[in-house]
Amino acid sequence: MPSRVPDGHQRGWIIPIGGAENKENDRRILERFVRESGGSEADIVVIPTASRMHETGPRYEQLFRDLGAERVTVMDFDTRRDCQEQGRLTRLEEATGIFFTGGNQLRLTTLLGGTPVARVIRARNAHGVTVGGTSAGASILSEHMIAAGDEGSAMIAGSVRLAPGLGLTNRFIIDQHFRQRDRLGRLLTALAYNPFAVGIGLDEDTAAFIGPDEIVEVEGSGGVTVVDASEVSYSSIARVPDGQAAAMLGLKIHILVAGTTYDLSTLQPSPGRLVHTKE
């Protein structure tokens, strides 16, 4: 469950990124992550545990240093025992920003889930620390995580596998590489199983910056597909056998781009700074 925000504090930013964020020319997503983590005073811990590539952590370390962060540490985890080391927990307590790289989200949850590291990260976010991640690192941020699923736009019973995520919030379910890998169907199926949540599908090079006020702000070159199941009037997901198409009536779908916003409290989208008047 998400950690309770103490009196006098605000929850930190939660920043899921759809993967393949621009790291060369237009680094606006990573630049803003550094800014929300403290700017020139940012103290960032990079967790590359989802990735099997040894260069992943050092690459993000250099990127965040180049973007002006004051201090960056790569902290990998190979065993669940690593998650109990006091030195690692102390370092996480010091951070103003925590970033999960891409890779395999089940590797993250099986190593970190239920450990002191997971509890510290939830508590630090509740105390105002920014927590973000890209691709697999985005999927794990919420309480309900899409672990795997089939491609395609249809809602198919049994086409998605869910697992417990890090649990920073239970407001939404995230999917990533959304348009590029045709993942609408698996997000819809996940919402059919959990209609209380909001579905957030992130295109590549696109991020949702979710502030303490629960307003989603979009950054990047792609789109964010928001699926609101709060007014669903009928779902057949419990009646059809696995592998068969299911029905869900009453869904609302919004497509957001940079400049638009979505309020997770009121479930209302806004054109935001896209609104302008013609001369």
Catalytic site residue from 21, 36, 143, 204: 204
For residues 98 and 68, give the distance between their C-alpha atoms in angstroms, rounded to a whole number.
Answer: 15
Q: What single DSSP character describes residue 162?
A: E
Report which residue type is found at 258. A
| Of 138, 127, 268, the residue nearest 208 (C-alpha) | 138
Burial annotation 122-153 (CB, 10 A radius, 16+ → b, else e)? bbbbbeebbbbbbbbbbbbbbbbbbbebbeee
For residues 264 and 251, give the distance between their C-alpha atoms in angstroms, rounded to a whole number.
Answer: 16
Report which residue type is found at 232. V
For residues 8 and 60, give the distance between their C-alpha atoms in angstroms, rounded to a whole number.
Answer: 33
Task: Say whether 141 sits in a helix, a strand or coil.
Answer: coil
Residue with tokens 């949702």: 208
| Whether residue 177 lies in the annotated active site | yes
Catalytic site residue from 139, 142, 177, 217: 177
| Whether residue 127 lies in the annotated active site | no
Catalytic site residue from 37, 135, 139, 159: 135
For residues 112 and 44, give the distance between their C-alpha atoms in angstroms, rounded to a whole number.
Answer: 18
Q: What single DSSP character describes residue 143?
A: S
Catalytic site positions: 135, 177, 204
